[in-house]
């Protein structure tokens, strides 16, 4: 009777350990059901169950993911449920389902599509999305890997060359509003160059050799008038856009700088008449223009306008700097949040692994006790 009772107790423990090992993911051993009465012929005890590999730690919510140069496939993933496995006709409830494919990514170039189920990566069986992410991270950047996928119930093998990305951030949590920053334009009147100088009231460019040939300018140089200011000295003298100024008071003009210098040469009073030789319709003709110096009042008005424009520009720059500071504060806050989340995730993973290690040690101790009991019972049989 004693031997029969020992065998019953031993089988009870074996069944308890087997059920506990099968439910290791719940971190609690379940009570084993009462075994049936043991027959008079004592059977050989079954081999104790092998300890199972600890499952992957549960994935913590990802708010920010910083790509620091590790391999990057360019997909968003989710785990395979029983319903999804049936719907996608998967061979098992395992793998990772692609929920989004980034454009111009390694996955996009390999032909991976939204809804594909990745069941094997570089020869390794994929059990979950967390395991696939780990396999991708551990793969060197630039390596080409083969992936076995299931699409529409059919298995395919695709090849992807993994990329590495730096200084990019994917946000999968609540968005943080970033203020727009626009650098203001600063408008300064160009008339500042003409303080106390005579102006003709035109916009002109140096004449190129090709344009000289086109307009029939024999000298091959001069100033091509592209615009005439209405009411200015040139407008009153009859100058038109398309005319070419080749001489001022008989002095040849080679370009804009020479024209400006000639207009202000020997200018002693407030007004001055100058003779302009121009080419119009491939013919030379002479016109007279009366130039006027910029008055001091006009100079003061121009300076006042410049000061107002500069003050407005400084105000816009101040606003832009404040927005830039706000943006920097948001970036710093986001970086601090990222660091805190990574710290908490590391602590959770460490604590989870510690608990799993303790559970595995407990199961190993129980298995050792069971093996010792079996050895003792065999020795009793031999006696």
Confidence (pLDDT) at 282: 93
- 362 or 285: which leads in pLDDT: 285
Q: Looking at the predicted structure, is the pLDDT value of residue 140 above 60?
A: yes
Token pair belonging to 129: 């999305």
Confidence (pLDDT) at 69: 58
Q: What is the mean pLDDT of the chain?
A: 76
Check whether domain 64-171 has CATH 2.30.42.10, yes or no: yes
Mean pLDDT of 275-304: 78
Query: Is the pTM value of this prediction over 0.85?
Result: no
Mean pLDDT of 293-313: 66
Lowest mean pLDDT among 50-64, 90-104, 169-183: 50-64
Mean pLDDT of 187-202: 57
Token pair belonging to 200: 């003709």
Confidence (pLDDT) at 353: 84
Using pLDDT thresholds of 50, 70 and 90, give the confidence band for residue 119.
Answer: very high
Confidence (pLDDT) at 181: 53
- Tell me the chain's radius of gyration from C-alpha atoms: 44
Confidence (pLDDT) at 361: 86
Using pLDDT thresholds of 50, 70 and 90, give the confidence band for residue 265.
Answer: confident
Q: Looking at the predicted structure, is the pLDDT value of residue 23 above 80?
A: no
Token pair belonging to 209: 């050799």
Using pLDDT thresholds of 50, 70 and 90, give the confidence band for residue 366.
Answer: confident
CA–CA separation, 149 and 132 (whole Å): 12
Q: Looking at the predicted structure, is the pLDDT value of residue 5 above 50?
A: no
DSSP character string of 148-160 = EEEETTEEEEEEE
Using pLDDT thresholds of 50, 70 and 90, give the confidence band for residue 179.
Answer: low
CATH of domain 197-293: 2.30.42.10
- 201 or 44: which leads in pLDDT: 201
Using pLDDT thresholds of 50, 70 and 90, give the confidence band for residue 3.
Answer: very low
Confidence (pLDDT) at 381: 73
CA atoms within 13 A on the CB side of 35: 15
Using pLDDT thresholds of 50, 70 and 90, give the confidence band for residue 284.
Answer: very high
Mean pLDDT of 226-247: 92
Q: Looking at the predicted structure, is the pLDDT value of residue 54 above 60?
A: no
CATH 2.30.42.10 placement within the chain: 64-171, 197-293
Confidence (pLDDT) at 159: 93
State phi, psi for 225 to the nearest 5 degrees: -80, 120
Lowest mean pLDDT among 76-85, 160-169, 336-345, 369-378: 160-169
Q: Looking at the predicted structure, is the pLDDT value of residue 96 above 50?
A: yes
Using pLDDT thresholds of 50, 70 and 90, give the confidence band for residue 13.
Answer: low
- Residues 211, 213, 217, 221, CA torsion sign: positive
Highest mean pLDDT range out of 22-31, 218-227, 345-354? 218-227
Q: Looking at the predicted structure, is the pLDDT value of residue 130 above 70?
A: yes
% of the chain exceeding 90 in pLDDT: 28
Other beta carbons within 10 Å of 105: 18
Cα separations (Å) of 357 from 49, 55, 350, 361, 363? Answer: 18, 11, 10, 6, 10
Confidence (pLDDT) at 359: 84
Confidence (pLDDT) at 36: 46
Q: Looking at the predicted structure, is the pLDDT value of residue 187 above 50?
A: no
Q: Looking at the predicted structure, is the pLDDT value of residue 235 above 90?
A: yes
Mean pLDDT of 217-235: 92
Q: Please check whether residue 99 is in contact with residue 202, taking contact to mean a CB–CB distance below 8 angstroms.
A: no
């Amino acid at each position: 009777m004693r031997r029969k009772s020992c065998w019953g107790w031993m089988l009870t423990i074996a069944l308890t350990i087997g059920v506990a090992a099968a439910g290791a993911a719940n971190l609690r051993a379940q009570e084993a059901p009462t075994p049936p009465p043991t027959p008079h012929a004592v059977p050989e005890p079954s081999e104790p169950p092998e300890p199972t590999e600890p499952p992957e730690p549960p994935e913590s919510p990802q708010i920010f993911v910083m790509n620091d140069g590790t391999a990057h496939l360019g997909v968003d993933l989710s785990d395979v449920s029983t319903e999804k496995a049936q719907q996608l006709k998967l061979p098992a409830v395992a793998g990772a389902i692609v929920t989004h494919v980034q454009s111009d990514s390694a996955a996009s170039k390999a032909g991976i599509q939204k809804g594909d189920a990745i069941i094997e990566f570089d020869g390794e069986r994929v059990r979950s999305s967390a395991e696939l992410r780990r396999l991708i991270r551990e793969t060197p950047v630039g390596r080409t890997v083969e992936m076995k996928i299931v699409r529409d119930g059919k298995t395919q093998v695709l090849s992807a060359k993994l990329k590495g990305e730096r200084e990019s951030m994917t946000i999968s949590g609540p968005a943080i509003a970033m203020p727009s920053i626009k650098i203001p334009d600063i408008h300064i009147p160009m008339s500042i160059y003409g303080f106390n100088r005579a102006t003709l009231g035109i916009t002109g460019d140096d004449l190129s050799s090709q344009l000289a040939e086109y307009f029939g300018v024999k000298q091959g140089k001069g100033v091509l008038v592209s615009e005439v200011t209405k009411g200015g000295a040139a407008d009153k003298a009859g100058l038109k856009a398309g005319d070419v100024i080749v001489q001022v008071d008989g002095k040849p003009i080679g370009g804009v700088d020479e024209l400006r210098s000639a207009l202000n040469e020997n200018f002693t009073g407030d007004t001055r008449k100058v003779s302009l030789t121009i080419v119009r319709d491939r013919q030379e003709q002479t016109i007279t223009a009366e130039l006027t110096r910029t008055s001091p009042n006009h100079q003061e008005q121009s300076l006042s306008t410049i000061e107002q424009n500069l003050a407005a520009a400084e105000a816009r720059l101040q606003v832009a700097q404040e927005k830039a500071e706000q943006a920097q504060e948001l970036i710093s806050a986001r970086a601090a949040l990222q660091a805190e989340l990574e710290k908490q995730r590391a602590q959770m993973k460490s604590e989870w692994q510690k608990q799993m290690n303790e559970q595995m040690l407990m199961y190993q101790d129980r298995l050792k006790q069971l093996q010792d009991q079996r050895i003792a019972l065999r020795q009793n049989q031999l006696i």
